[in-house]
Structure 1
Amino acid sequence: MTETSDASDARSAADKEPEEPPSRLRRMMRYIPLIAPVLLWAVPCWVLLYGGQHWPLPVTLTATALFGLGLIGMPFAMMRGHGRRQQDPAAIVGDTLLGSGWVLFTWSVLLGVVLRLALVAAGVGDGEDRARIVTWAVLGVTAALLAWGYVEARRVPRIRRLDVQLPRLGAGLDGTRVVLITDTHYGPLDRARWSERLCETVNTLEADVVCHTGDIADGTAERRRAQATPLGTVRATRARVYVTGNHEYYSEAQGWVDLMDELGWEPLRNRHLLLERGGDTLVVAGVDDVTAESSGLAGHRAHLDGALHGADPELPVLLLAHQPKFVDRAAAHGVDLQLSGHTHGGQIWPFHHLVRLDQPTLAGLTHHGARTLLYTSRGAGFWGPPFRVFAPSEITLLVLRSPQGLTSSH
């Protein structure tokens, strides 16, 4: 394994890659803090209590008060937990209410319309009977999905294995094992034991290279050190490399760079390493997250030219970039394979569809441009709400295949 030096930070302004313009999702997100709490709690309240059910008055008043408490308590807890105070207990309460409210809202809308229409079409009961059936169906589905989603979020991720053929990969590198973990999001819920089991699972895969494509944690390195420390036990025969994600820039990114260095991980911050085997070479490169430049931290920015500076353009390139949307730049540079995370696979359906407004893909292997492949992992952990609904976590084992290696094996 050999390496290049960092690209000089003293480049002219003309050399800088353009800052990422605001996406449609990001523009929409500006208004979400104002309208989301009202929608999340008011819609289910109406569907479950005031849609023709005629519950006893004490039931209606008590349930309405609980919805009102959720409407007020969720944003208050979120602000205390994720704002300047960074109070973990408040964050846990706020995140749990957010996830619960989202699932309840989703199924109140779906079942409140679809099931009610189906009951009308089937001639089931009168208006009040149908309204009560909808209420109990919404509550049952919501409770089941939240219980299942919590188990899915807290479990050690399943291993996803796939072969990825790279046309320019030399036969000497055929069978190279690359393990991808991403979006561990160590946070308010203490997951130190989960982290240990995650790393133990990675070590069973006998990786040549282990990659972490960012969003290591929510919170500073000092606060999340105990949860992140097991990353130091991860084994790879050739390299352990990582890049920053957008959440590092919410939590003193340089502290995370320093801790990952202490744990023995190699930073690919706009630079590359060369993986050599059997007379063939693979460029393993990485860039800071696209939000890095707006963070104001000196030397932090996504700079692909810097990452590939000095590399032979004829060699195949494996690129680490936190967000899938960086693939447009990767394809323009002829990168062979980009590894990303960030999306969580949507985390809680149907948030999947909102993620697609901001990113070119949700999960899996996709083709971009003339030769660029993108693999997007659903991630190992979770952000905020401790639920994963129809978006299971993963540890990914990618076995790189050479056309020459495949030919010689037959």
Structure 2
Amino acid sequence: MITRREHRPTDRSARTAGRSPVHTLATTAAVAGGAGLATLAGGILGTRDFILREVTVPALAPETFARRRDRAETQGVHGQPGSAGDAFRILHVSDLHMLAHQRLKQRWVASLAALQPDLVVDTGDNLGEKEAVPAVLRALGPLLSFPGVFVFGSNDYYAPHPVNPVNYLLGKKNPPSDIDLPWQGMRAAFIEHGWQDATHRRTDFTAGGLRLAVGGVDDPHLDRDDYASLAGGPNPDADLALGLTHAPEPRVLDDFAADGYQLVLAGHTHGGQLCLPGGRAVVTNCGIDRSRVAGASRWSERMWLHVSNGLGTSKYVPVRLFCRPSATLINVVERSA
């Protein structure tokens, strides 16, 4: 009697040796598709994974805080004006792209009031749809009790619309939609609560015990900037000269640097939004290099740049990969002598 024994492969290559190429391709496609869906799901959930970042920028002249204390004593102010310690604290928010139903984002932004910043700076793209003005005001409402300045971006003026994503990857501009957003009412509410519109104007005021000179431009991404309107440069008696722009286009940054601004704040880039692992941006959606897509960097010998990676996305691309939405607390301190 002949006994037959069935041999069962023990390694992976042997187990798959008899499979057809079509079966192998189908299996590979299924695995790749599953990984793609998992990545997409993670990217969508990543739009709600808010984080507060904190950076220190040595933009102030030496002895700035000593002069602040001297002024306070001369004016009979008891105790340290502004935030505790030798730092001027700026809360930088940008690119909310708010939708009316985004209650989690509204609550998270409102909670930032607990930081008690010396100044709030909003660099635009607050709106994501026509109905979102009340939602923006709910989010920013507690922050409106602090000194604040703002400029607007393209998605304050025009509603988002579906665009060709290839243009974004190739660095090409997509034209804005023809749907106007109700930015006028939002601007009026900001101003009514004491925030100052820095668009194409210079404004001087005191916050946190420091004398500020702030100048801003309209969104360079839409070529709405008119830096000539700021001609003359910031007040030389200011402790901190602060420039604002939505998109950090090099031509505008160079103008701010040439006029002696110490720190420029911008948004627009979303930190790259669709990044490689480690937050490495593929594109910046403007003229700056990828190393400056988010965070603080030195633009010139005396001027710093901070780019917010923002808190939202277009409603048509609700995904952030390896790029958590954020606001930033900027501790502005004295540079070394």
Global fold match (TM > 0.5): yes
2:238 paired with 1:306: no
Classify 1:332/1:206 alpha carbon distance in 2 versus 1 (closer, same or farther; 3 Å).
Answer: same
Q: CA RMSD for the aligned pairs? A: 3.1
2:251 paired with 1:339: no
2:307 paired with 1:376: yes
> 1:211-255 deviations in whole A, cap 9, x for unaligned?
1101111333xx222322214513366512210102223247783
Q: Distance in 2 between matches of 1:197 and 1:131?
A: 47
The residue that corresponds to 1:266 in the other structure is 196
Deviation at 1:311, TM superposition (A): 3.5
2:42 paired with 1:158: no
What is the SS of the residue equivalent to 1:216?
A: coil
Contact 1:285 1:308 in 2 (8 A): no
What is the SS of the residue equivalent to 2:220?
A: coil
The residue that corresponds to 2:162 in the other structure is none
Out of 133, 149, 157, the residue aligned to residue 249 of structure 1 is 157
Q: Flag structure 1 segments of 5+ consecutive residues without an equivalent.
A: 1-118, 294-300
> 1:361-403 deviations in whole A, cap 9, x for unaligned?
3111111122221111110111122111111110100011024
What code does the residue aligned with 1:186 have? M
Q: Distance in 1 between matches of 2:30 and 2:208?
A: 63
Contact 1:209 1:236 in 2 (8 A): no
Contact 1:272 1:308 in 2 (8 A): no
Q: Greater shift after overlay, 163-172 or 201-210?
A: 163-172
Q: Greater shift after overlay, 346-355 or 131-140?
A: 346-355
Classify 1:238/1:259 alpha carbon distance in 2 versus 1 (closer, same or farther; 3 Å).
Answer: closer
Classify 1:278/1:204 alpha carbon distance in 2 versus 1 (closer, same or farther; 3 Å).
Answer: closer
Contact 2:233 2:260 in 1 (8 A): no
Q: How many residues align?
A: 273
Deviation at 1:192, TM superposition (A): 4.3
The residue that corresponds to 2:121 in the other structure is 211
Q: Distance in 1 between matches of 2:296 and 2:138?
A: 29
Q: Distance in 2 between matches of 1:138 and 1:176?
A: 49
2:35 paired with 1:141: yes
The residue that corresponds to 2:217 in the other structure is 287
Classify 1:145/1:254 alpha carbon distance in 2 versus 1 (closer, same or farther; 3 Å).
Answer: closer
Q: Distance in 2 between matches of 1:323 and 1:178?
A: 19
What code does the residue aligned with 1:261 have? A
Q: Distance in 1 between matches of 2:271 and 2:149?
A: 23
2:68 paired with 1:179: no
The residue that corresponds to 2:147 in the other structure is 239
Q: Distance in 1 between matches of 2:200 and 2:330?
A: 23
TM-score, length-scaled by structure 1: 0.59
> 1:169-217 deviations in whole A, cap 9, x for unaligned?
7223841110011000124xx3341343133221121111111101111
Contact 1:282 1:317 in 2 (8 A): yes
Contact 1:207 1:236 in 2 (8 A): no
Larger radius of gyration: 2
What code does the residue aligned with 1:363 have? A
TM-score, length-scaled by structure 2: 0.70
Q: Determine what percentage of the aligned residue pairs are the same residue.
A: 25
The residue that corresponds to 1:359 in the other structure is 288
Contact 1:160 1:395 in 2 (8 A): yes
Q: Flag structure 2 segments of 5+ consecutive residues without an equivalent.
A: 1-11, 69-81, 160-178
Structure (1 or 2) with the greater helix fraction: 1
Classify 1:275/1:308 alpha carbon distance in 2 versus 1 (closer, same or farther; 3 Å).
Answer: farther
What is the SS of the residue equivalent to 2:323?
A: coil
Q: Distance in 1 between matches of 2:89 and 2:97?
A: 24
The residue that corresponds to 1:29 in the other structure is none
Classify 1:137/1:403 alpha carbon distance in 2 versus 1 (closer, same or farther; 3 Å).
Answer: same
The residue that corresponds to 1:77 in the other structure is none
Q: Distance in 1 between matches of 2:186 and 2:294?
A: 29
Q: Distance in 2 between matches of 1:229 and 1:346?
A: 27
**Equivalences for 1:90-129 in 2 at 5 Å?**
127-128=21-22
